[in-house]
Structure formats: structure tokens, C-alpha cells
Structure 1
Amino acid sequence: MTQRQVQHPIILKTEALACGRGETILARDLDLEVPAGTGLLLRGPNGAGKSTLLLTLAGLLAPLGGHIHFEGAGPDDGPLMHHCGHRNAVRPRLSVLQTLRFWAEINGTGQVPCEAALDRVGLGRTAHLDAGYLSAGQQRRLVLARLLVSPRPVWLLDEPSAALDTQGQALLAKLLTEHFAAGGLAVIATHDDIALPQLTTLNLGAPA
């Protein structure tokens, strides 16, 4: 088990949620419920609002209408969520290990050391290499390592499988399965197929 057991099962709920950029609404009237141990796949064409919805759920964009609730969160649970955007946020002149330690200092640490997390995602041999030398798929694996080092019950993931090879996609599926088993939840924007029984799909339409 790579994630700690969530102390209080959390349910993500939205009521009549509308989100967009500026005054442009990309998605509206969203009544969502994502219980602990499950996930939601956001599907749809480019510009349909998948990334915008993730940013809104993360609190990085204000809703244009409606409400967001994370029910069941306890006062001592600490930070609730990881938001991992479609950009990898890699500093090219820091080593792979330094990059992960940097994020650990910001996000906090759990029971998985940085070195062990890199081994888990297949980057152990690159730990002392400048992160700028990593391929796009390797950089995406480094993002996954952040989830292991700093466990949080809510994962908001934007294109987590982008640039991953077949083994990388299998690793992502394994990490999600373990996260769900530990009582976590996830909302994932993706164009790829992630076939897990814990996942349901929300199709967002093309923008007007």
C-alpha cells in the first residue's frame, strides 16, 4: 500500500457547478458525486473545459456558479488534495531527486522516502541526473512520484498518462488502484483509456 488510509472517507460533491475562464462558461449545471474509493474520468474534446473544471475543484479558479463540497474532511486531516496539471513543473537544472525533494518540502512527506518513490516509478537510476534531461514520459513519471511522497486523499490529475509508454500506463493504473483501496478519490482529465472498475466517466461537450 503506497498511500495512508484516509482517516475520514471524503466525498466530493458539486451542486449546479458552472466553470469557465473569464465570463466564458465552459461547463454548467454539474451535479457531481465522487465517493471515497472511486474516481471520475473527464472526457471531451480540447477546449471542452476538462482542465478548467479541475482547476475549479482545486480552488485555483473561482466557480462561475454553484457550489463545491468535500464532505467528511476532518479538522486534523491536513491538506486534502493534489492538483497535477498538464505541465510537469520540472526545473531542468535540478536533479531528479532534488526536484522531488523540492516538492516534498512544499507538500509535506508521508511514509515513502523520495528515493523509494523514484524507484517505484522507474526513475531510481536517474536520481542524480538533471531533470531537464528526462524524456516527456519520464517527467510524467516524476509527477507520479510526487503523489507517493506526499499522500493526500484527493487527486486531481490533468492528462496523467500523457507521453507514458505501456509500462507507464500500467504503473498509473496500479497507483490509482492502490489509492482507491486506501480510501482516496480522483478526478482525471484524459484523452486516454484508463480501464478501472472504480472509474466512471463524465463527457464534457465542445465549447459553444
Structure 2
Amino acid sequence: MMQRQARHGINLHTRDLACGRGETILVRDLSLSVPPGEALLLRGANGVGKSTLLLTLAGLLRPMAGTFAFGGADPDDGPFRHYCGHKNAVRSRQSVLETLRFWVAINGSGGLTPEAALERTGLGRATGLDAGYLSAGQQRRLVLARLLVSPRAVWLLDEPSAALDADGQALLTELLAEHLDTGGLAIIATHDEITLPRSATLELGTRP
């Protein structure tokens, strides 16, 4: 699924997009294009609308004005977006392996096996541990494993590097680079430095 989507090049276009919460507009007049194989880093102070913009692009909030579209997405290919919020959404009494298998049941397979994804993200020795016993950084690695078991062309990531140590941040950068190399697209809200060869930065909360 991911390979077919990458071949016909999913891209993002917004035109005069406005989004917010309730009646409060946080992001307005946003017109941009992100081609396949590139990342857009969303930066800005807390509360300027980074998470709200991601939720809107994920289809979880309705735009308040304007439009956005993911060009090249084929409905016959099934879901093409992964949204990972700033909360890790793990069940504390479910094991690490059970958690990942649950996400596979919800999101579909087609990528690495759950066991292989946990090895790749440094959780291979924690498969039988209840997810609630993981550290914050380990829980974030479990979220990264979710991206690997159910490949999708578009990653919408809210603070993916939060709580990660240096090795975890290097892993995140490596996974993002591999995703972009396959023609994937990533929109990332972050306060941390994420260096990618094909990326642009959008500073929210500022006016031209």
C-alpha cells in the first residue's frame, strides 16, 4: 500500500486555510504546498496552533475557512495518513507487544512485524512488559514502532521527539529520512532540532 501511494506522489496543498478551536482562530490564511518526499516542520510558541493544524490535516477538526487537499491519494489504497498526537495513547496494563498488535488490528499491516518493529525501535527486550511501566521516552519509541508496522504515505507527528534521549532522537531522524526516501511526506510539530535533507520550516504565530 505504501509503495503504491509513494509512486503516484501524495502531496499537500492548502489555500487560505484557517483552523482553530471553538470560535478562536489560531492559524489563518495559510497557503502552502509540500511535495512528496519532503517534510514540513511546524514551529512556534505553545498555543499558536501547531497541534490544531495537525488535527485539521488529519481530518479530526474541520477547517474554519479555506481548503486543504492531499493530491494523489487514491481511496482504493485505503487510509494514507498516520496521526500521532503528543499523548502516547498506551494502555498501561497491556504489554508492549499486545499494544503494537492492537494498533496493527486497527491500522492494518503491511510493514514490519510487531516484533521486528520493536527491535528496530530499541524495545525488543520489553515486549512482555506492561506498557505502563515504560519510561516516557520508551513510550515514545513505541509510538514510532506504530509507524513501522502499518505503512502510510503521510505522517502527521506532534512532538515526536518529546522525552527521547540522544539515541532516540537519532532513531527518529533516521526513520524520517527513510520515510522521505520512499516518497513519503511528513508534517511535524516540534520544539526540538530535527535536521533532514529535504525539509522546510513554517513558523506559526508570526505575520509576514
- Residues in 2 aligned to 1:174 and 1:76: alpha-carbon distance in whole angstroms: 30
- Residues in 1 aligned to 2:103 and 2:127: alpha-carbon distance in whole angstroms: 14
| Residues 75-154 of structure 1 aligned to structure 2 (within 5 Å) | 75-154=75-154
- Residues in 2 aligned to 1:69 and 1:4: alpha-carbon distance in whole angstroms: 20
Could you tell me which residue of structure 2 aligns to residue 59 of structure 1?
59
Contact 1:39 1:188 in 2 (8 A): yes
Contact 1:17 1:31 in 2 (8 A): yes
Contact 1:18 1:63 in 2 (8 A): yes
Q: CA deviation at 1:76?
A: 2.2
Residue type matched to 1:103 in 2? W
Could you tell me which residue of structure 1 aligns to residue 39 of structure 2?
39
Mean Cα deviation higher: 25-34 or 74-83 = 74-83
Matched, 1:193 2:169: no
Q: CA deviation at 1:199?
A: 1.2
Length, aligned pairs only: 205
Structure 1: stretches of 5+ with no match in the other structure: none
Q: CA deviation at 1:15?
A: 0.4
- Residues in 1 aligned to 2:151 and 2:52: alpha-carbon distance in whole angstroms: 24
CA RMSD of aligned residues (A): 1.3
Secondary structure, counterpart of 1:109 in structure 2:
coil
- Residues in 2 aligned to 1:169 and 1:22: alpha-carbon distance in whole angstroms: 34
Could you tell me which residue of structure 2 aligns to residue 159 of structure 1?
159
Structure 2: stretches of 5+ with no match in the other structure: none
- Residues in 1 aligned to 2:148 and 2:68: alpha-carbon distance in whole angstroms: 26
Contact 1:37 1:182 in 2 (8 A): yes
Could you tell me which residue of structure 1 aligns to residue 28 of structure 2?
28
Contact 1:42 1:187 in 2 (8 A): yes
Q: CA deviation at 1:77?
A: 1.8
- Residues in 1 aligned to 2:161 and 2:28: alpha-carbon distance in whole angstroms: 26
Q: CA deviation at 1:8?
A: 1.8
- Residues in 2 aligned to 1:61 and 1:111: alpha-carbon distance in whole angstroms: 28
- Residues in 1 aligned to 2:111 and 2:65: alpha-carbon distance in whole angstroms: 39
Q: CA deviation at 1:111?
A: 3.1
Secondary structure, counterpart of 1:32 in structure 2:
strand
Percentage of identical aligned residues: 70
Q: CA deviation at 1:197?
A: 1.7
Moved over 6 A (4+): none
Contact 1:7 1:77 in 2 (8 A): no
Q: CA deviation at 1:7?
A: 3.5
Contact 1:42 1:189 in 2 (8 A): yes
Q: Deviations over 1:85-137 (max 9, x none)?
A: 00000100000000000001000001310000000000000000000000000
